[in-house]
Structure 1
Amino acid sequence: MLYELATLSIRLGTAAKAIAGIDSYVKEPTAKGRLLGCWASEIGELNRLVVLRGFADADALAAERTRTLGTTNPFHCGEALSHLRLESYAPFSFLPPVTTGKFGQVYEIRTYGLKLGGVGPTSAAWEAAMPERAKLSPLTIAMYALDGPQRFTHIWPYASLDARAAVRTESVAGGVWPPKGGPDWLTGEMVSTIGLPTAISPLA
């Protein structure tokens, strides 16, 4: 399984139209992949829609990328779009495919820069730490970038912002998180977005 994270920067007042466009775009007969999540940014860079899709293999991902790059109306949001960023990811090897469903009212989408060679050690550190960390709250996915700067992105659902703060405090206080040795491979570059599931999001 491979993933695409698309970030759509949209003009003011166009969110409803853009979300409807995304819904129709991913359902077209020629579309590849499966819609997993669609969030509207609440904290972080605003006026953003973040779309997570899963693909069976590299060929399917490449075909869909070609479709998106070949149109003046990507995600059927051409009039609403001011910028589009497309990123390709592979999951940490120990993780199962993303499971959709109702998991939280807010999602954190966080990206860290990685040092050279950091994918393997980071994945191993997460694999060791996740059994205990998952007892506090579920992980949607952790995945490393296949293009652009070396980095990895992880997505977590929470019942609320207060619940997020409480879980993060408890995980650090209990020595559960961050994964032991994991921060050694980070560059210090990081960005986080708090997104709210849209009406079309299978992850809600």
Structure 2
Amino acid sequence: MFGTTPQKCENREGWFSKLLVRRIEPTKEPHSRMLSDKDVIYELQTHNMRPDSRKKYLQNYERTVRLIESHKNELSCELVASWTVQVGDMDQVLHLWRHIGGFSGIDRSKHFLIHDKDYLTLEEERGNYLRSRHLQYLLSFSYWPPIEARKGNNVYEIRSYSLKPGTMIEWGNNWARAINYRRQNQEAFAGFFSQVGRLYNVHHIWCYSDLHCRKETRESAWRLPGWDECVAYTVPLIREMHSRILHPTSFSPTQ
């Protein structure tokens, strides 16, 4: 009476097979070399502001950005984007920096700045406006489109994933295909995986004209054959994920 028909068994097995993590063969290549082909390091600063210090904090950080820009001949870094969180962790700001020359470039820049009195004064002042900070060094996935500054009045979404250890290559294999389903609206802004900080951390950053556009764009992806399979293969790799809606600061290079 409670038996399962062969057709139902076949359908169930097909569904379960999509949730299985495929085996990755051992390799002597570091994962960072296999997933990223650029000698460029990205720095993601996450700052949690004191609620009563938002204006002072943003003014301080803008002065810091201008100071670093004035030393562009000595430093190998530049601000890519700066956002305040509108939905998610409130009173939070994200700053994305690009470092040229790998970790050697980061070392040179840090050494220069810790001997700059104006920079140290700004950094000390900024401490009065913060509750906490976190920093990650990231690499960009090689299969994502190049990062390009956007114009206009846009909103951004950062979707952050904590992956199971050992699954980064599998994630890359699936998203190398999945990103092709999300290219038509030029919504893909940047895709990163962590090198230093919280490990096995992935950040996908998307750009939309507004929240309604985000809704329509995401729903349209589900109508494309193959997108559901990509999602089914990546879901088992995730330990935790969360989404934040971002708005560019007035001094952000990308708007």
TM over 0.5: yes
Could you tell me whether the CA contact under 8 Å between 1:36 and 1:52 is conserved in 2? yes
**Using a 3 Å threshold, how does the CA distance of structure 1 residues 150 and 164 change in structure 2: closer, same or farther?**
same
Match of 2:246 in 1: 195
**Using a 3 Å threshold, how does the CA distance of structure 1 residues 47 and 179 change in structure 2: closer, same or farther?**
farther
2:141 matches 1:85: no
Using the alignment, how far apart are the partners of 1:162 and 1:82 within structure 2?
33
Between structure 1 and structure 2, the one with the greater Rg is 2
Match of 1:24 in 2: 63
Stretch deviating more after TM superposition (132-141 or 84-93): 132-141
Could you tell me whether the CA contact under 8 Å between 1:107 and 1:156 is conserved in 2? yes
2:103 to 53, 58, 74: 58
Match of 1:35 in 2: 79
Superposition map of 1:53-132 within 5 A? 53-56=97-100, 57-64=102-109, 67=113, 73-74=122-123, 77-102=126-151, 105-132=154-181
Match of 1:9 in 2: 48
Q: Deviations over 1:63-99 (max 9, x none)?
A: 456657x958539622211111111111112235421
2:206 matches 1:156: yes
Aligned-partner SS, 2:148: coil
Q: Deviations over 1:13-35 (max 9, x none)?
A: 32232222222223332654110
Match of 2:31 in 1: none
TM-score (norm 2): 0.70
Using the alignment, how far apart are the partners of 2:51 and 2:90 within structure 1?
10
**Using a 3 Å threshold, how does the CA distance of structure 1 residues 40 and 75 change in structure 2: closer, same or farther?**
farther
Could you tell me whether the CA contact under 8 Å between 2:181 and 2:224 is conserved in 1? no
Q: How many residues align?
A: 202
Aligned-partner SS, 1:117: coil
Aligned-partner SS, 1:100: coil
Using the alignment, how far apart are the partners of 2:86 and 2:228 within structure 1?
25
**Using a 3 Å threshold, how does the CA distance of structure 1 residues 163 and 85 change in structure 2: closer, same or farther?**
same
Aligned-partner SS, 1:140: strand
The CA deviation at 1:124 is: 2.2
Higher strand share: 1
- Structure 1 unmatched runs, 5+: none
TM-score (norm 1): 0.86
**Using a 3 Å threshold, how does the CA distance of structure 1 residues 31 and 76 change in structure 2: closer, same or farther?**
farther
Could you tell me whether the CA contact under 8 Å between 1:72 and 1:78 is conserved in 2? no
Identity of aligned residues (%): 24
Using the alignment, how far apart are the partners of 1:123 and 1:95 within structure 2?
10
Stretch deviating more after TM superposition (140-149 or 39-48): 140-149
Higher helix share: 2
Tell me the C-alpha RMSD between the 2 structures: 2.5
Q: Deviations over 1:39-59 (max 9, x none)?
A: 111100100111011111212
- Structure 2 unmatched runs, 5+: 1-39
Aligned-partner SS, 1:59: helix
Aligned-partner SS, 1:27: helix
